[in-house]
Every structure is written in structure tokens, then in C-alpha cells.
Amino acid sequence: MVRTHALARFALSSLAVSGLAVCSARADDLTPPSWRYDPDTTFQHWDFSSGSAGGAPDGAAFNNSNGTPILTPDDPNNWLPTFGPRNDVWAVNDFDVLTFNVPNCNDAGSQKELWLQVTFLSAAVLHMGKSLTSPSGNFTLVSTQQTLLADGWIHELSIWTLPSCPAYEELVLTPPVPGTVVFLDQVVIDTRCTVPGPGVAALLPCVLGMLGRRARRR
């Protein structure tokens, strides 16, 4: 298993970030959804400033009436207090992933939309490995948008959907390519539960009526 000092040496040599100007931790919450803080939404932001133990969101006051979101790291030794121009960074490799558990309302009649923002750096890959699961199934990726930041790090927004609103969702962040290391500086998760659009509801009586007429003809 790769240890923290080895990960740091790898990054500083392969990414040549040591020449960048050191600056304070950033708030890379660049693409918040317009519906943040609306009813039936949640918001949680980790900037990892609380240290190697993980735990509740530490980047901003979270908004989740369903419970406390929790970050669980596989290996606390992979938290780096300083790394290049950034502070409070996780080194994520094949063996030591980060798992985020977000409690939510349990409503099978609604559908879920999730916005995920991550800020990361890697020598070998241009995206972060992500797995989004729930008790009612896996999320579907709708779109991805990346922004190259001034210090060379990447901000990535991905939008996901699920046809129901489960009691919680679980996010696991990993390197997308085996044998690589990804350095992670921020995770922001926004979710909302919405009722399916009126078009679907309006068509339902028509469909049921057609099925009834067909049954009577038989």
C-alpha cells in the first residue's frame, strides 16, 4: 500500500507543482445549482480542513434535514495538510478510496437529481473515478463539465439522476485508472427530490383508458 510520503514525492516530481505560488485553501464551489436551499433539497461541502478523520462536511454549513452527511476515508494517513499550492488534500489511490454517505428523504414517488463538484489533480488522468449508488439502484450520469483552474487543478461538475428518492446515496471516489493517484481538494454535493413532470401524469389516464378499451374488445 502506498504511504503518504511516497504519494507526495510522486506528485511533486511528476506534476512539478512545487514551483507554483502557495496560497490558502480555496472555495471551489463554482457551479451551484439554482435550486440550492429550496424545499426537498440538500447541500453538503467538504474542503477536508477538519483533518484525517473525515466526518461531517467542513467546507460550509451543510443543509440536510434528513441527518448528518459523513465522509469515511479508508486510510487517514493519506490526508496531506499541505500539497503544492493547496491545503488539506486527500491522496486517493486504488487501495484507499473516499466514501461519502448522504442521508435523504425516502420517497419512491419522486425522482432524484444530484450535482457533484470535485476539485482534483492527477498526472495520469483527466477525470475522477466516481461510483454513485443507493438502496434503489445506481445513478445515471447526465452530463460532465470541467474547468481548468489557474493553479493547474481541475474543477469538475457532473449531474446525475435516479428515478426515485432513496433514504440515502453513497458516493465513492477512486482513480479511474488502476495504479494512478488522484489528489482531491474539495467535494460539494447538492441533491433535490422532485415530482415527475406533469406531462407524464397527464398521459397516464389516456394510457389506462386505451388499455381498458382494448381489454373490453377482447
Q: What are the pLDDT digits (tens) for 158-176?
A: 999 999 999 999 999 998 8
| Beta carbons of 123 and 13 less than 8 angstroms apart | no
| Beta carbons of 79 and 103 less than 8 angstroms apart | no
What's the pLDDT at 122?
Answer: 86
Separation CA 176–CA 194 (nearest Å): 31
* 3-state secondary structure at position 178: coil
Q: Residue 67 pLDDT more than 70?
A: yes
Q: What are the pLDDT digits (tens) for 123-168?
A: 766 778 899 999 999 999 999 999 999 999 999 999 999 999 999 9
Q: 56 to each of 5, 45, 64, 71, how far by Cα in Å?
A: 26, 9, 11, 6
Give 49: exposed, middle or buried? Use CB within 10 Å, 0-12, 13-18, 19+: exposed
What's the pLDDT at 128?
Answer: 85
Half-sphere exposure of 176 (CA within 13 A, CB side): 11
Q: What are phi and psi of 52, to 5 degrees?
A: -80, -10
